[in-house]
Amino acid sequence: MRRTTGTARGSPPARTLPTIRPRAGGGGGPGAGQPRRAWPRRAPGRPCLPGAVPGALLLRTTAQLDRERGDARAVNEVLTAADARPVFSSDDHGRGVTAVVSRRMRRAVVTVHGLPPLEGRDVYQLWLVSERPTSFRSLKVLGPDPAADGTSGPVVTGGLDEWSYAFTVTVEPTGGSPVPSSDAVVQLPLLALGIGS
């Protein structure tokens, strides 16, 4: 009995294809005759992004979302506190400050409204004013047009105590100031809540 190897009975023997080698300087299209460049290897477990900019953008977006979620949780904790109380103040021009305060948590959610856009390079700045001794703690630089640039709030602040006197808004140079450099544009006293002296 004859034994066959590699081909079926009656089929022509398999042919070995010749090896085609590109000729130096000849045709074959762009890059013919040139060694292939290997793709750069990436570390295991790391996403292969097309560039550093998308990666930085992704990290920045993730950080922003985390920050916004944290801000929303902080706002909700104050607004839903059992002792949360709203208080507001406004002047004849409609400029004002509104706050929801929890004495137990010693925290407040503050927003401003009715502030007209500023000209030049000035910005609004929100402060917590305390007494004995008188001190000013910057809560946020609001921007030149809080209603349009989204800086009007809500702003969450903590550390309220019996010496916390008022929330105040002033006009400051670009970037804000370490202490107020002008008179208050609008002010919300905290005496009605029994916090200030």
pLDDT digits (tens, 9 = 90+) for 127-167: 999 987 889 999 999 999 998 988 998 999 999 988 898 99
The whole-angstrom separation of Cα 91 and Cα 157 is 23
CB 89 within 8 A of CB 97: yes
β-sheet bridge partners, residue 105? none
pLDDT, residue 8, reads: 44
Q: Is the pLDDT of residue 33 over 50?
A: yes
Place of tokens 């074959």: 28
45 vs 2, 41, 42, 49, CA distance in Å? 56, 12, 9, 12
- pLDDT, mean of residues 4-9: 46
More confident residue, 96 or 14: 96
CB 110 within 8 A of CB 78: no
- Number of H-type helices and E-type strands within the chain: 2, 8
Q: Is the pLDDT of residue 4 over 80?
A: no
Backbone φ and ψ for 191, nearest 5 degrees, come out as -65, -35
pLDDT, residue 162, reads: 85
Instruction: Residue 112: name the closest of 138, 142, 137, 82 by CA.
Output: 142
More confident residue, 102 or 66: 102
Tell me what percent of the residues of the chain surpass a pLDDT of 90: 43
What confidence tens digit (pLDDT) does each residue in 9-27 have?
454 555 554 554 555 554 5
CB 170 within 8 A of CB 125: yes
